[in-house]
Amino acid sequence: MLLGGKATVTVRELSTLTITKDPNAATVELSEGKVALHVNKALMKPGDIIQIQTPNAIVGVGGSLVVTEVTGPPDARQSHVTALEASLPILVAHGRTRTGRPRCGRIRPSQCRDRGMPRR
């Protein structure tokens, strides 16, 4: 499906997700299953935000192709994020530090991040 004319979302069967769209932001909230999100960097404007939220991670996507999968039982969800293409950094936020700041990591093309801790 086309997301705001700037991104394409491909959803695997039996996936559960909610998509919300504002003028400058779009969020794909993936509860279970698998999605691929391809963002066209040329169509993004300054301030535009496209992200994927899972039960234990938030992925900021811009000018990239990212596959995200949520697996496991409801009380022990695992998020798997794989970057297939990236013209901009892909940020993955997961949990918080002791000072309350979000923990973030970057992924590059052909890299994968797995997160199993609940997002706080």
Q: What domains appear along the chain, each with residue ranges and CATH number?
A: 2-115 (2.60.120.1440)
Mean pLDDT over all residues of the chain?
81
Between 97 and 28, the more confident residue is 28
Q: Say what the pLDDT of residue 116 is.
A: 58
pLDDT digits (tens, 9 = 90+) for 32-57: 999 999 998 888 888 888 899 998 88
Q: Per the structure block, which two tokens stand in for 45?
A: 């404007």
pLDDT value at residue 52: 92
Would the pLDDT of 104 be above 90? no
HSE, side-chain direction, 13 A CA sphere, residue 7: 31
Question: Would you state the pLDDT for residue 119?
Answer: 47
- Report the pLDDT value the prediction gives residue 74, as an integer from 0 to 100: 86
Q: Could you read off the pLDDT of 56-76 as tens digits, one per residue?
A: 888 888 878 889 999 999 888
Would you say residue 103 has pLDDT above 80? no
Residues 6+ apart with CB under 8 A from 27: 19, 20, 21, 50, 51, 52, 53
**What does the pLDDT average to over 10-36?**
93
pLDDT on residue 107? 66
Cα 108 versus chain centre, distance: 14
Q: Compute CA distances 65 → 75, 76, 102, 107, whole Å.
A: 29, 26, 23, 12
CB contact at 8 A, 1 and 8:
yes
Q: Using CA atoms, how far apart are residues 109 and 120, in angstroms rounded to an integer?
A: 27
Whole-number pLDDT of residue 120: 44
